[in-house]
Amino acid sequence: MIRSLAAVGAAALLSSFVQPTAYAAVVNVPNVASLQAAINSARDGQRIELANGVHRADKPIKITKSKITIAAKNAGRTVFSTGGFEFGKVRNVTIEGFVFDGTSKLDVTAEATRITRTTFNGDKGGASLTVSANDVEVDHNTFSNRTTEGVFLQIAGPDGKIAQRTKVHHNYFYNHSYSGLNGGESIRLGYSYKQQLSAYAVIENNLFDKANGDSEAISVKASDNTIRFNTIRNSKGYIVLRHGHRSVVEGNLLFGSGIRFHGNDHKVFNNYVENSGDRAIVFGKGSETDSGPTSKLHDRPDRVTVAFNTLVGTGAVVESDTSTYAPKDCVFANNIIKGSSSKFIDMMSGSTVKYEGNIIWGGTAGISSGYRSVDPKLVRDSNGLLRLASGSPAIETSAGTYSYVTKDFDPQSRVGKPDVGADEYSSMASRKPLTPSDVGVSAP
């Protein structure tokens, strides 16, 4: 009996050491002061929810713990009218469901942070959201209703560096109406003086509507990025590779917008541009042949490939800006151009561009070789996109080898010899332009 009691006592003592202290997985707080206290005492994996209502943060709410989620009680109903969060030396933090209204905004300085289901509304000083750390995810947010200079989203970084591996997806950028000549982009990725730095950002599956704060909806000023599967409509803003090298622009659906690029070794393929008027694809002007590490001038496009795009419009659908240095050693291949124009392609004198495998129909090509003048037989599908019809001369007639073009804009696999244009003929295609229900705070 004595031995048995001793054993029980030892077991109880051991249990008191190995059993973790219980804590609530979700902590509800009513106001900013209690939110700060809850953050300071948070444990790994904890979720802290701030009550619905309008909150004023007269001083920054300091995020002092890693691996936590700070969330609105209900997405879209917990509002900051002033102030916001300040990140300490933390990582793996999620900010979810808030509304940053009035002058409130956010600067993410903690690595591996996620900003999700959050609304950035109204005019701010500077950017509505700034990403200054590596491995940040920005998804399912709404950026809306700016009339002032400044951008919705700035991807930045500390001095001498740039934020790397930012993922920006399923966001809704809506109604930027700044009327100035420059400085009202929806997304600015990098800075001119950081153009040689590799950001490795991915901007995909976002919707831009009324992106009229600037002629650049997505302004890329860094190297080695991917811009894919976005939809732009009702906007003067383009996808613009303003500075930097080796970026990919793939599978975007652009209505009344277009793509412009500077710099070297970009790949622009599988994009669909309709109702562009003119300037669907613009080989940007070169103010210098090759940019130095801190240059802010426009680099001449060198070795840029524009392939397998479908371009529908009038006027000079493909052209170059006029400047000192013409595009050099570029390729324009296996694209469909359809519409009406006295000169579809209008390149600067002295440009060296290889043309092959293109189909141009409805006007004068503007080039002497590298194309066929045949009706591509495009038919409009149930989602409003022009696709290849059965019997199209674009089917399995592309020229050259472009090994990285393995899928079309759906994306579905390209089989055999790829078809000309953004679409690979199939009866199973289902791609549709993004709508507000596909992106933003309430999207699946």
pLDDT value, residue 23? 67
What is the arithmetic mean of pLDDT over 111-138?
Answer: 97
Mean pLDDT of 284-300: 83
Is 330 a member of any domain? Answer: yes
Q: Which residues of 14-24 are buried (b: 16+ CB within 10 A; e: fewer)?
A: eeeeeeeeeee
- The radius of gyration of the chain from alpha carbons, rounded to an integer in Å, stands at 26
Q: What is the pLDDT of residue 287?
A: 86
What percentage of the chain has pLDDT greater than the value 70?
95
Domain presence at residue 9: no
Query: What does the pLDDT read at residue 341?
Result: 94
E-only strand ranges, 137-192? 137-139, 142-146, 153-155, 167-169, 172-176, 187-190
What is the pLDDT at residue 17? Answer: 43
Is 4's pLDDT higher than 90? no
Verdict on whether the full-model pTM lies above 0.85: yes
Looking at residue 408, its pLDDT comes to 98
**Rounded mean pLDDT of 157-181?**
94
Instruction: Give the pLDDT of residue 3.
Output: 44
Instruction: Return the pLDDT at 179.
Output: 86
When pLDDT is cut at 50, 70 and 90, the band that residue 430 belongs to is confident
- Residue 112 inside a domain? The answer is no
What value does the mean pLDDT take over residues 283-311?
A: 89
Tally of domains in the chain: 1
Task: Judge whether residue 8 has pLDDT over 70.
Answer: no
Max distance between CA atoms of the chain, in angstroms, equals 105
Cα distance between residue 135 and residue 140, in whole Å: 17
Residue 286 has pLDDT above 80, yes or no: yes
**What would the mean pLDDT of 127-143 be, rounded to a whole number?**
98
Per the structure, the complete domain to which residue 310 belongs is given by: 258-444
* Paired tokens of 103: 């002058």
What lies within 8 Å, CB to CB, of 54 at 6+ separation is 79, 80, 81, 101
Cα 64 versus chain centre, distance: 30
E strand spans, 141-258: 142-146, 153-155, 167-169, 172-176, 187-190, 202-204, 207-211, 216-221, 226-228, 231-233, 238-243, 248-250, 253-255
Q: Is residue 399 part of a domain?
A: yes
Q: State which amino acid sits at residue 250.
A: E
Q: Is the pLDDT of residue 278 over 90?
A: no
Average pLDDT value for the chain = 93
- Per-residue pLDDT, averaged over 87-109, amounts to 97
**pLDDT tens-place string over residues 221-263:** 999 999 999 999 999 999 999 999 999 999 999 999 999 999 9
pLDDT in the model for residue 182: 85
Judge whether 432 lies within some domain. yes
Burial (Cβ within 10 Å: 0-12, 13-18, ≥19) of residue 135: middle
Which is it for strands 378-380 and 386-388: parallel, antiparallel or unpaired?
antiparallel
Alpha carbons 133 and 111: distance in angstroms, whole number: 5
Tell me, what's the pLDDT at 285? 85
In a domain, 26, yes or no: no
pLDDT at 275: 84
Of 391, 398, 407, 343, the closest CA to residue 371 belongs to: 398
Q: Angle at Cα 362 formed by Cα 356 and Cα 365, nearest 5°?
A: 40
Give the sign of the dihedral formed by CA 420, CA 421, CA 423, CA 425: negative
The per-residue pLDDT for 10 is 41
In a domain, 306, yes or no: yes
Indicate if the pLDDT at residue 2 is higher than 50.
no
Q: Does the pLDDT at position 98 exceed 80?
A: yes
Please report which confidence band the pLDDT of residue 22 belongs to, taking 50, 70 and 90 as the band edges: low
More confident position, 293 or 392:
392
pLDDT, residue 394, reads 98
Out of 7-16, 120-129, 173-182, 334-343, least confident range: 7-16
Residue 110 lies in a domain: no
